Structure 1
Amino acid sequence: MDSDGSFVPALIVVDMQEDFCPPNGSLAVQDGRSIAPVINSLLSQPGFVARIATQDYHPADHISFATNHPAPNNRPFESMVAVQNPAPGKSAETKPQQLWPVHCVADSPGAAIIPEIDIRRIDTFVHKGRHSQVEMYSAFADAFGNRDPAVTAQSVNLAIAAVLAAKRVTDVFVVGLAGDYCVKCTAVDAVKAGFRSWVVEEGTKCVVPASWEKTKEELGAAGVSVIRADDAVVKRLAGE
């Protein structure tokens, strides 16, 4: 870490949970388990001042679960429903929500972090998506971009931006699942929250593998740097 405080990095490991991993995950990402060694290597780097793991932690009646809606508009991966902004006075604002199989129900085996991840090195666990009526892909904000803890308190168990700010973090490194959803949204919102944001390419996989090139373009346009695991900035984490 630079002595002048210009580089104070944190690592966010996004949703490395059983339901997002083969062979039995209800919303398994192809080769999701294969990135664990890269993530563990990053977790072991001495430069991080915070190592945070996020987990989807939905109630059983979550609005994104296809089974919570009547046919015929309840096909996972296909159907959409309208959700309302939970912020006070903004309930008239709606947006479409894609429906998913039931996944990562709070306290269920599917919500657990896979054993391949060295959770002994994790110092903070973030449970997100707890509000039954709104999705939360990003660890920083709900689907409507609400970041005010007064609004997101029902969605997430702690305000991650405040955790990072308390440690004077300047740079956020994001890995995990999935690259085209929660990793992307977390990395983009890290920029909006005032941090330099990095995604380590070998440390993520996508729900739709073919979407990664487009996702990288979206990340770049939002100010996120997509890097390889051997990038010079990663080597700084090891004091090289």
Structure 2
Amino acid sequence: MKNPAPGKEAETKPQQLWPAHCVQGTKGAGFISEIESDKLDAIVRKGMDERVEMYSAFADAFGNQNCVETGGANRDLEAMLNEHEVSDVFVVGLAGDYCVRCTAIDAADRGFKSYVIDEATKCVDPGEGWENAKVEMATHGVRVISADGIEEAINKLCINV
């Protein structure tokens, strides 16, 4: 399937067809019980423009960063991180070989130190897909760390402050 770029209908890109998932208001879009969502400072909802895939929380599949204006996301993640002087981004979730990979790479490409926590990431293709994703992320400076490595990464943050 090819989807047109929002506002540039002549530009198309092959898109992966996915079954309905993470549908607003369903269990699939909710947080796991271990995450106390009432304590979160912000939630970025992405992929809200049905015309185009949005793997990254920073931009759609065409690289359009104005996803808030086109309706693909509810917040500008880069602006929000910069406003709060965030320097390091830890990415977890589904799917490691798609959304997590794209978000982590986009974070690194925008100048953030970007980490993916291996045990907190699930992949569509946990074998070759995840191995290829890790290689691609490494070329952008993204580090895949274990949950045990979080403390080490945070300690480095404290030293640099």
Question: What are the Cα deviations for residues 152-198 of structure 1, in whole angstroms up to 9, with x where unaligned?
Answer: x4000010111101111111111111110111011011122221211
- Counterpart amino acid of 2:145? I
Q: Is the 8 A contact 2:68 2:76 kept in 1?
A: no
Q: How does 1:36-115 map to 2 (within 5 A)?
A: 81-86=1-6, 88=7, 90-115=8-33
Task: Point out where structure 1 has 5 or more consecutive residues left out of the alignment.
Answer: 1-80
SS at match of 2:124: coil
What TM-score, normalized by structure 2, do the two folds share? 0.86
Residue 212 to residue 145, structure 1, CA distance change in 2 (3 Å): same
RMSD value over aligned CA atoms? 2.0
**Residues 214-225 of structure 1: matches in 2 within 5 Å?**
214-225=132-143
Q: Structure 2: which 5+ residue stretches go unaligned?
A: none
Identity of matched residues, %: 51
* Cα distance in structure 2, aligned partners of 1:159 and 1:139: 9
More helix by share: 2
1:1-240 aligned at under 5 Å gives the runs 81-86=1-6, 88=7, 90-149=8-67, 151=69, 153-210=70-127, 211-231=129-149, 232-236=152-156
| Aligned residue type for 1:110 | G
The answer on whether the counterparts of 2:115 and 2:144 sit within 8 Å (CA) in structure 1 is yes
CA distance 1:128–1:209, shift in 2 (3 Å): same
CA displacement 1:180-239 (0-9 Å, x = unmatched):
011101101112222121112222121111022111101001221222223321444688
Residues 202 and 110 of structure 1: CA distance in aligned 2, closer, same or farther (over 3 Å): closer
Q: Describe the shift of the 1:112–1:119 C-alpha distance in structure 2 as closer, same or farther (beyond 3 A).
A: same
- Whole-angstrom CA distance in 1 between matches of 2:114 and 2:121: 15
The DSSP-based 3-state class of the residue aligned with 1:98 is coil
List 4+ stretches of structure 1 deviating above 3 A.
234-239
CA distance in 2, matches of 1:100, 1:230: 33
Aligned CA distance change for structure 1 residues 150 and 236 (closer, same or farther; 3 Å): closer
Q: Greater Rg, structure 1 or structure 2?
A: 1
1:137 offset after TM fit, Å?
1.0
Deviation at 1:124, TM superposition (A): 0.7
